[in-house]
Structure formats: C-alpha cells, structure tokens
Structure 1
Amino acid sequence: MPVGAWDSHMHVTSPDYPLAKSAAYKPSLHSLDHAMAFEKTIGIDNIVLVQPSIYGNDNSCLLDALKEIGPTRGRGVVSFDPDDIASDTLQQWHRLGVRGVRLNFKSTNEPFDPDAVKQTLRKYAAVVKPLDWVIELFIDLEQLRFITDIIPELGVKFCVAHFGAPDMKRWTSYPSDASNVPGMQHLTTLLSQADNLWVKISAHYRYDLSIDKMAGSEAIAKLLLDTAKDKMVFASDWPHTRFEGLDVKPFVSKCLDWSEEFDAKDLVFRDNAKRLWDCA
C-alpha cells in the first residue's frame, strides 16, 4: 500500500442518529474507531466519509466523525438541499474537511427525468463551484448518456461512484470486452474528453456476477485504468451496507495488482484522491 493512501468512499453509522423517513434500513454501530481499525488492516490512514442515504440531509453523524479525525486525514461528502443551504454552513463544513456533495439517483427508486436531473446538477454546481467541491454521482451507468453533455460545461469536479453501477446481468460478453457493458462507452468517452470527471473503483460486490473471482470487475477496472488512470480512485465502501461481514481484503489486493499493471498504484491509491479531494 502506498504511503499516505486514501480510502475515497466509506461510511460511519450509528443508531443514535435520526433516520430519514425514506431510510431503507436501520444501521448498526459503525463508528470512526471501527472504521480506522478496519483501515489499519489494509494500511490506509486517510478516509473520505460519504453521507449514507439513510440519514437524508442530516449530516450530523458524518460531521461528528469528521470533527474527530480532523481535516488532515479526513474529508467528507455531504447531502443538502441546494435551495435551502446557507453559505455560512457551507464554509463551516469546508473548514471541517467537507469537499463534496452526494447526489443519489440509484437508491431512491424515483423515475429518472433527464431534464430535471440536468436542472438539479446546475443548481448544485452553482452552490459548490465557489468552494471547488466535488459533485458525487451514484447513478446507473446507462443513465450517464443523458447527462454527458452537461458534465463538461458546469465547471466543477464530478466523481462517479462504484464503477458507475454497471448492470453486469446485461453484459452479453461477460466477463470479456468491458466496452460492451451497457453504458460503458459513454463513461469512457466522457473520461477521455472531459478533464473534470473521476471514477471510484469500489463496491464490486454490488454488481459483479462472480463476486469471489471478480472477473467482471477486473475487466472493467483495467478498461478504466487504460482510459484514464489519472482519474481513478480506490474506495473500500466500508462497512459494506447490506453486505455486512464481507471480507474486502481480496478486492483491495486485486486493486493493487490492477493499478500496478498500469504503473498507477500511487495514482489510484493516493495522488488522484489528493487532487480530487483538495488534500495538501
């Protein structure tokens, strides 16, 4: 593991914090101490805390953990309403280490209206651009085609979570030729043409048809690394919500191997994250 590595996507949860009405599950206790104990097992000291959907726009659990770890080793990705957020609040969060906002189009089960999504992206971009924050997208890979035109023009950093949430069940040549994954060509084209898009190599178990062998994930990871190795970031997705108890260490090892094959280990595990999350 490279010295100074970052885990660009993980969560802290606790039943002590109020859940959103739309919460799909009740969380167990996964504290910052638990998180850092896990990170120690894979040799990582720096983390990006991402707001879980179960808390909606109440970022209290994340912010409390961010206060504890401090901005040198921690970054945060929050949720908020762009029509109801004070600039003072944003500045306060920024000082704590917040560097992004998460837009979840994947777990909401709401219809995907491209025009409405584009308007939403414009609103968030206007809010976060002065802070140089990231807009993180949890979105189906095939839905990217509806917004590829607006991402380059908004002038903010975007990060697509979890390989772009590919539908591997519809991958006719699985696990070979990852360019045939539905929607993948939109992602690789955008990565090649836009300088403001990153992708998280993470959460393979949510999509891969061979979770243990990781055959599909390997093909996709290598395609993405070959396309834009300077815009890939590693993430563990700990504590693997709804997959609790999963051993992610084999995936970490695979990520190290894949990135090393493309001479990109330092990039994927450290340097790209530092650039994306504005780390010194």
Structure 2
Amino acid sequence: MTRPCPGPRAVTSPPSWRAPPGAADCHCHVFGPYGRYPLSPGRSYTPPEASVAAYLDMLDAIGLCRTVMVQPSVYGTDNAATLDAVEQIGRHRARAVVVVDDGADAAELAAMAARGARGVRFNAVSGNGAPLAQLERLAERIAPLGWHVQLYTHPDALPGLEPALRRLPVPLVLDHMGGVKAAAGGVQHPGFRALLRLLEGGRAWVKLSGYRSSAGPPYADVAPMARALLSAAPDRCVWGTDWPHPSLHDPAEVPDDGELLDALGAWAPDGAVRRAVLVHNPARLYGFPY
C-alpha cells in the first residue's frame, strides 16, 4: 500500500514583495481528477487531487503568471494530466516537463513538443519513470528538439554521476537545489560541490525550490546554498513552488507558497537578480516570450 500525503494549504499568504511582470513558477504538479487521470500502480505515494483551478488560485495569490508543469512520479510515463493542464492554462503561459522512456519515438516526442513540452525528467528519488541507465540515450534523442534533461536524484549520487552529466548533449536542470539538505552539510556537502562544478561548466541549471532542503520557514538555513547557486550561475537559476508539495508526511510540513516567494526575496534582494530568476531565465529555458 502506498503512503498517503497531505494536499496543499487552503489559503496562501500574499508575499511581502511583488514579483515582476512575466514571472514564472518553474516547478509544480497537478493531480486528478482521478476518474479521468488514474494514478499509476507503481507510485510510491498517494496524493489527494490538486486541480488546475486550485493551482491558478495559488499562482494569483503570489502574483505570478507563468508556469511549468512537471510530470510527477505518481503518473509514471502517462503524461496526459500534465499536458492537458498546459492546454487548460494556455501555451502562452504554460510549459511542461514530461517523463518518457527510451521507447518514445520521434513522432511521439514531436507531438509533446507541440503541446508545450520542453524537457524530460528523470526522478531517481521517487522512481516510477525511466531508469538513469537510459539518461544518455534519451538525451541524444531529445537534442534535436532543443529540450533539456531535468534530474532529481539523491545528493550523494551527484559526484558519481558528474562525468556522465557533463557529457550530455543537452542542457541539464537539477531539481530542488540538488536535493542537498542544509542540515546534512549544506554548501560543504559533496553533492553540493558537484552541483557547483556542473554550474560552473556552463551547461547546467538549478531550481531554487529549496524548502525540501530546509528545516522549515523562514528557510534561513538554506540561504547560504541559494546564494552560492545564484553567485555561481545567476543566468541559470530558476525558481519553483513545487505546489502542491507532494510526498510530505504531515499537513504541518506543507509550506505556504507566499512564504516560499518571500524566501527567494531574501536570497536575492536585488531586483535585477529577481527578474533574471523569475522572468528572463525561464524565458530562455522554456521558450516563454520576453
């Protein structure tokens, strides 16, 4: 039996600062309705339904307008819910990162690209997708589309993966600050040092969705990590809520997305850096209009 997890907060606090026009939430998910989009039997957790409408209410509350729907592990390689969410929101303001295996052919990938897909995700933490053994083959296959590979892995694995990740013929996006916990070494963790080296190589990007790395709000413990990432690659950092915050254990752990945006404001007090992270960098990575 899979572990249930709580849903998102019913009310989102307004952040203390206003995001610039065109700002994007670069990491979120939707779940359900399960009568139309049933969960995969191979999933590792069971979330409650989290609708597009509820997500857009949250996005309005924090003052963002664009979004990147990321295929969650609970749907395996069935990307219907994710791609339909992009259609519902509109391709002028939404993109997708999908999960496929190396059986996906060129026509299937092209059809997903036409529906707003811009990358392929490998999730070695929650599983239920393509194994990492397929990473290099799939990267070769998606390169002609101009897509990227998005990777969520255990931070202890990053140093060992680093040579293969450097060889990829496409950009690489690391989820959730590389998965490094502030309490487990933070900026000194070997996985974080590998992440910095990948960023310094010029092809890697990172998502500043750091609540999973933190002991909790106001997320000051991850500030040194966030600032190190912003210093290493200010033009290749993007930010995401990770709404509806799946695979947590306790409703008290579910973050307030307004507080998450406030944390970004503390990490990046300069307006130009905020615009880069929220507007210009997502536009380049996902093909949003400037």
Partner of 1:28: 48
Q: Does 1:201 align with 2:201?
A: no
Stretches of structure 1 that go unaligned for 5 or more consecutive residues are: 111-115, 172-177
Partner of 1:238: 243
Partner of 1:250: 259
2:176 to 157, 162, 167: 162
Q: How does 1:165-244 map to 2 (within 5 A)?
A: 165-171=179-185, 178-192=186-200, 194-204=201-211, 206-209=212-215, 211-243=216-248
Q: How does 1:69-108 map to 2 (within 5 A)?
A: 69-82=89-102, 84-108=103-127
Stretches of structure 2 that go unaligned for 5 or more consecutive residues are: 1-18
Report the residue type matching 2:78 in the other structure. Answer: D
Tell me the distance in 2 between the aligned counterparts of 1:234 and 1:189: 20
Report the residue type matching 2:236 in the other structure. Answer: K
1:38 to 58, 79, 82: 58
Deviation at 1:203, TM superposition (A): 4.2
Q: Does 1:148 align with 2:162?
A: yes
Identity of aligned residues (%): 31
Deviation at 1:25, TM superposition (A): 2.5
- TM-score normalised per structure 2: 0.85
Aligned length: 264
Q: How does 1:97-136 map to 2 (within 5 A)?
A: 97-108=116-127, 117=132, 119-136=133-150
Tell me the distance in 1 between the aligned counterparts of 2:99 and 2:62: 28
Deviations 1:96-131 (A, max 9, x none): 110011100112399xxxxx84x4221111111010
Deviation at 1:47, TM superposition (A): 0.4
Q: Does the 8 Å CA contact 1:10/1:47 hold for their aligned counterparts?
A: yes
Report the residue type matching 1:256 in the other structure. Answer: G
Q: Does the 8 Å CA contact 1:240/1:246 hold for their aligned counterparts?
A: yes
Q: Does the 8 Å CA contact 1:12/1:62 hold for their aligned counterparts?
A: yes
Partner of 2:86: 66
Q: Does the 8 Å CA contact 1:139/1:165 hold for their aligned counterparts?
A: yes
Tell me the distance in 2 between the aligned counterparts of 1:214 and 1:246: 10
Distance 1:35 1:208, change over 3 A: same
Tell me the distance in 2 between the aligned counterparts of 1:43 and 1:196: 30
Deviations 1:193-228 (A, max 9, x none): x22210000041x2312x023122111101111111
Tell me the distance in 1 between the aligned counterparts of 2:267 and 2:141: 36
Give 4+ residue runs of structure 1 displaced > 6 Å after superposition.
none
Q: Does the 8 Å CA contact 1:226/1:262 hold for their aligned counterparts?
A: no
Q: Does the 8 Å CA contact 1:70/1:97 hold for their aligned counterparts?
A: no
Tell me the distance in 2 between the aligned counterparts of 1:101 and 1:270: 21
Partner of 2:7: none
Report the residue type matching 1:66 in the other structure. Answer: V
Tell me the distance in 1 between the aligned counterparts of 2:90 and 2:98: 16
Report the residue type matching 2:260 in the other structure. Answer: F
Question: Of the two structures, which has the highest relative contact order with CA contacts closer than 8 Å and spacing of 6 or more?
Answer: 2
Q: Does 1:12 align with 2:30?
A: yes
Partner of 1:113: none
Tell me the distance in 2 between the aligned counterparts of 1:10 and 1:109: 18
